Structure 1
């Protein structure tokens, strides 16, 4: 029953589209494709695909549209280099009110894309041996990146970490290595201006930043929280058949399913020697299932599979028998 743990990186692919949007289809689709590739969008395309429709041509509206366009262009310009990434984020924070919700959503996605694009540069700033050694000595749990930088006595190392903080990255550690992460909780400042699917996506990502699911090949959140995260990804996929971040959430869903039904290398659901189900996982899962109605369980594939698994485990003496193995292969192993 033991399964090798898998580390699945969330990939960002796909296009951003919405149903019932009254916009020129060709321009909207082209803009979405360009967004996915990280190409800066021309002003003419943005105006055609994303500008708010209007039946008036007043000077006030024209000035407002021009102001928004200039702000957007400045934001895009500052996204291109790591050295101005922090300025790009500040630009978006300060000027997002100028944008309609569609362009605001696109801008937030482009900001996330930029953080991914510049991740190698950010990683190189912190992977210096002297910085890693100093952080191992000085880092305390839940330190911000700027707090960690303040503990470094070497000026060059301190400035490197401060630069990482200025760019807007967060700090994480696992297995004795410190690395940059996207500070998804900070994206909540954009919630009043962007579309619901991206808000839900950011909430999924932010939960992982605030409390990582696994650490050193072990699951370090409670079984109830693990199941909650799996259900959040399932709900997203059910709610948004089309979303620019659907592929990323699908990847997350597969990983959550693996953790829920198999555990991880250091915290397997079934003991590799005795094949007995882990009592903490079992208790947490049963507690969670008891909080849902029969209809709610029926409406969720994740809850249905988990409920059926625990019934089968009961029938097999609380162990991962061949029957349980076959069940997991049929319901979970494909991770679909």
Structure 2
């Protein structure tokens, strides 16, 4: 049976980690009818070797084929357990040979493999006396690199090193220690990926750099919360066909709820007197000033909410609560 502490860690990691990856789309198509054959024969009559008159086309085809082959090799690597460090090495070695669409395919497949292996790695953190050993050397703010340097036990040091090399970072929820995806690692390859994948990794790496919530509390400023929510909303508007849209939609929903509700341990309206948090009030008032709060956007909804809240001197009344419920349903 899983302990309460481990359940808390699993729940926290589930919030931080993505829970989806669409299957890779097969863009190949079969040749169609005799028309193409006729066209091909007609084209070949202009010369025995078309590539001699269009070397750029030949070169591009060769590069695409080579890039596709790398994708195949990478996917074969990920099908093997415990190969995440090798997968990152593979990316480092072949990054400049990949087409953007293939780089994105590989990065998202890598994310999927990390999610798949997360549970088994987490189990190892809770086996033996690993929790106690980490607690004995951990100081607030320590990175994995610092823990690896401090660790004296060879097995513990090896597990921490594997965690780092596999693209994870340390999660310290409720005094427990475990791995979580570190999107800053994959975001390093954003410049070789498609625009939507680069934008997706930027959103996720912001959470890896500083999670918006820890232990049911908002741990970033309200201004930063709005910034991340707006960025997620922009992604959904700019890339409606992205394979990452469902994950970003879940992020946006979580951000939006936090904007209007706060977190359990950082409520937007105080539990005692139901008055809006002063820092949130200032951040929200500044955010909706001017032309930024367009109709139909998060900031547009927030402006309506703040206008309504002003009527009750920013105190949560029954009518304001009902108005808020309509905005976040």
TM class by shorter chain equals: 0.7 to 0.9
Whole-Å separation in 2 of the counterparts to 1:261 and 1:194: 34
Check if 1:170 corresponds to 2:169.
Answer: yes
Consecutive unaligned residues in structure 2, runs of 5 or more: 1-11, 32-50
Check if 1:12 corresponds to 2:20.
Answer: yes
User: Counterpart in 1 of 2:306?
Assistant: 310
User: Counterpart in 2 of 1:72?
Assistant: 71
The 1:329–1:243 alpha-carbon spacing in structure 2 relative to 1, beyond 3 Å, is same
Consecutive unaligned residues in structure 1, runs of 5 or more: 1-5, 18-22, 28-53
Query: C-alpha offsets along residues 236-284 of structure 1, whole Å, 9 cap, x if unaligned?
Result: 1111111110000010011001111001111111112211111121122
Query: C-alpha offsets along residues 1-53 of structure 1, whole Å, 9 cap, x if unaligned?
Result: xxxxx985632144667xxxxx65689xxxxxxxxxxxxxxxxxxxxxxxxxx
Provide the aligned C-alpha RMSD in A. Answer: 2.7
The runs of 4+ residues in structure 1 deviating greater than 6 Å are: 57-63
The answer on whether the counterparts of 2:85 and 2:162 sit within 8 Å (CA) in structure 1 is no
Q: More displaced, 66-75 or 238-247?
A: 66-75
Query: C-alpha offsets along residues 70-117 of structure 1, whole Å, 9 cap, x if unaligned?
Result: 433332222123422111111012102222221111111111111111
Check if 1:239 corresponds to 2:235.
Answer: no
The answer on whether the counterparts of 1:86 and 1:166 sit within 8 Å (CA) in structure 2 is yes
Whole-Å separation in 1 of the counterparts to 2:312 and 2:322: 13
The answer on whether the counterparts of 1:86 and 1:167 sit within 8 Å (CA) in structure 2 is yes
TM-score (norm 1): 0.79
The answer on whether the counterparts of 1:144 and 1:171 sit within 8 Å (CA) in structure 2 is yes
User: Counterpart in 2 of 1:197?
Assistant: 196
User: Counterpart in 2 of 1:225?
Assistant: 224
The 1:15–1:331 alpha-carbon spacing in structure 2 relative to 1, beyond 3 Å, is farther
The answer on whether the counterparts of 2:294 and 2:300 sit within 8 Å (CA) in structure 1 is yes
Whole-Å separation in 1 of the counterparts to 2:282 and 2:64: 57
Within a 5 Å distance, the mapping from 1:90-109 to structure 2 comes to 90-109=89-108
The answer on whether the counterparts of 1:276 and 1:319 sit within 8 Å (CA) in structure 2 is yes
Whole-Å separation in 2 of the counterparts to 1:63 and 1:256: 44
Q: More displaced, 128-137 or 220-229?
A: 128-137
1:181 partner SS: strand
Q: How far did 1:285 drift? A: 1.5
Within a 5 Å distance, the mapping from 1:100-179 to structure 2 comes to 100-128=99-127, 130-179=129-178
Larger Rg: 2
Q: How far did 1:56 drift? A: 5.7
The answer on whether the counterparts of 2:262 and 2:268 sit within 8 Å (CA) in structure 1 is yes
Q: How far did 1:185 drift? A: 1.0
TM-score (norm 2): 0.81
